[in-house]
């Protein structure tokens, strides 16, 4: 595996199974957590090559069994539910339980005891909370563990090239078996993919990243003078700029032709009416599913049911192959407006 264009070029984390690491520097070192560091000379290629290797057993360290000061009897009782005769089975029990939990980037936890609220009350959370809960549950069962932070690699731009963005930051767990070997363990529910897929770049962006990587791979095979190298970089940039502008104009032309239709205007109007009636925030990057999961907890059953009915209709009909009757959406909005009005009158009467 070759890693290039790291956000932090001087640091690299690798799993326990990683073997030899190569980089264009003599100042290369690693610590007990398998985090590699390097000092690159100015102008040197900041490319890392990780070769596969065999994991080795390590002595158990007391630090990997420590529990935080807030760990109490209630937390221990909850962690005891995962107990088993084998460490691998404990990790499997935690994973099986967390599969049913809800993943969300929007958390609303008790500010005084956020971890207890997440763990004991099974509140929604993102990877950090699941990884922390998984690691502490392992330790509470006498299993050395450690929290790991890195990136969730999921966006492929070529047969051998993956794109990793800052928003792909992720946390998971490593645990040590009875023989001293470390294993990777990700307790975050697989529903994380539903969120990650919303933020993947468009086809044009992935194509540009792939072209740039292919250019870097080809460029590494040549040994040119600085002057020729600078000229080639400028020419390459001009070509990329030309391709980008051309593709942008093409996409804009297609978008104008599509969004300018009467049907598209009606759908936009219908959605804006939903936002106006419900009072929910108009978040362009949210999906209908996200709105369903974040409806206000203070709403009445009638309000929530009417909003869900509209969102289900909108999600199914907006991009249907056959243009649906938009009047159905208007009818569902009328029911939502009535529900909002009834709730307001009830609150005023109370």
Distant-in-sequence, close-in-space partners of 191: CB < 8 Å, separation ≥ 6: 102, 103
What pairs with residue 37 in β-bridges? 11, 29
Q: What pLDDT shows up at residue 191?
A: 67
Token pair, residue 79, equals: 């962690």
Cα 254 to Cα 249: distance, rounded to the nearest angstrom: 9
Token pair, residue 40, equals: 């690159």
What φ, ψ does residue 116 adopt, rounded to 5°?
A: -60, -40
Query: Which pTM value belongs to this model?
Result: 0.50
Residue 153 backbone zone (phi > 0: left; psi -120 to 50: alpha; other: beta): beta
Cα 291 to Cα 347: distance, rounded to the nearest angstrom: 24
Q: What pLDDT shows up at residue 43?
A: 62
Please, which pLDDT band fits residue 321 given cuts at 50, 70 and 90? low
Q: What pLDDT shows up at residue 151?
A: 73
Reported as type and span, the H/E element at residue 301 is helix 301-317
Around Cβ 123, how many Cβ atoms within 10 Å? Answer: 18
Q: What pLDDT shows up at residue 221?
A: 60
Domains and CATH numbers, the chain: 2-52 (no CATH), 62-199 (3.10.620.30), 262-349 (no CATH)
The gap between the terminal CA atoms of the chain, to the nearest Å, is: 65
Give the number of C-alpha atoms closer than 13 A to the C-alpha of residue 289, restricted to the C-beta side: 9
Tell me which DSSP letter residue 62 carries.
Answer: G
Cα 249 to Cα 243: distance, rounded to the nearest angstrom: 10
Residue 55 has pLDDT above 80, yes or no: no
Q: What pLDDT shows up at residue 57?
A: 84
What are the CB-based long-range contacts (under 8 Å, 24+) for 242-247? 243/208, 243/211, 244/204, 244/208, 247/204
Q: What pLDDT shows up at residue 14?
A: 61
Q: What pLDDT shows up at residue 87?
A: 95
Q: Calculate mean pLDDT across residues 66-87.
A: 96
Q: Which of 15-29, 54-68, 329-343 comes out lowest in average pLDDT? A: 15-29
Q: For 246-271, how does the pLDDT look when each residue is reduced to its tens digit (9 = 90+)?
A: 877 776 665 554 444 567 778 888 88
Q: Calculate mean pLDDT across residues 55-68.
A: 90
Residue 202 backbone zone (phi > 0: left; psi -120 to 50: alpha; other: beta): beta
Token pair, residue 224, equals: 């040119």
């Amino acid at each position: 595996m070759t890693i290039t264009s790291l956000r932090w070029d001087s640091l690299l984390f690798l799993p326990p199974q990683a073997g030899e690491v190569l980089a264009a520097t003599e100042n290369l070192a690693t610590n007990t957590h398998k985090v590699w560091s390097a000092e690159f000379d100015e102008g040197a290629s900041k490319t890392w090559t990780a070769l596969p290797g065999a994991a080795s057993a390590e002595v158990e360290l007391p630090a990997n069994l420590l529990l935080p000061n807030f760990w109490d009897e209630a937390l221990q009782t909850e962690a005891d539910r995962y107990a088993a005769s084998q460490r691998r089975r404990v990790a499997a029990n935690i994973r099986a339980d967390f599969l049913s939990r809800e993943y969300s980037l929007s958390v609303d936890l008790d500010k005084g005891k956020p971890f207890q609220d997440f763990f004991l009350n099974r509140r929604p959370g993102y990877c950090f909370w699941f990884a922390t809960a998984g690691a502490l549950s392992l330790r509470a069962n006498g299993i050395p563990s450690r929290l790991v932070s890195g990136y969730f690699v999921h966006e492929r731009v070529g047969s051998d090239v993956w794109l990793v963005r800052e928003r792909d930051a992720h946390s998971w767990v490593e645990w040590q078996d009875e023989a001293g070997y470390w294993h990777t363990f990700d307790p975050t529910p697989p529903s994380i993919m539903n969120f990650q897929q919303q933020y993947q770049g468009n086809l044009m962006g992935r194509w540009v990243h792939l072209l740039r990587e292919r250019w870097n791979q080809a460029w590494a095979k040549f040994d040119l003078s600085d002057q020729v190298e600078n000229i080639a970089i400028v020419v390459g940039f001009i070509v990329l700029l030309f391709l980008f502008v051309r593709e942008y104009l093409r996409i804009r032309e297609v978008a104008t032709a599509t969004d300018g239709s009467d049907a598209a205007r009606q759908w936009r109007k219908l959605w804006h009416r939903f936002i106006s009636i419900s009072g929910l925030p108009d978040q362009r990057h949210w999906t209908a599913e996200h709105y369903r999961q974040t409806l206000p907890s203070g709403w009445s059953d009638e309000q929530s049911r009417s909003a869900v009915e509209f969102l289900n209709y909108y999600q199914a009909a907006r991009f249907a192959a056959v243009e649906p009757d938009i009047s159905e959406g208007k009818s569902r909005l009328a029911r939502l407006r009535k529900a909002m009005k009834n709730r307001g009158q009830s609150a005023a009467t109370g």
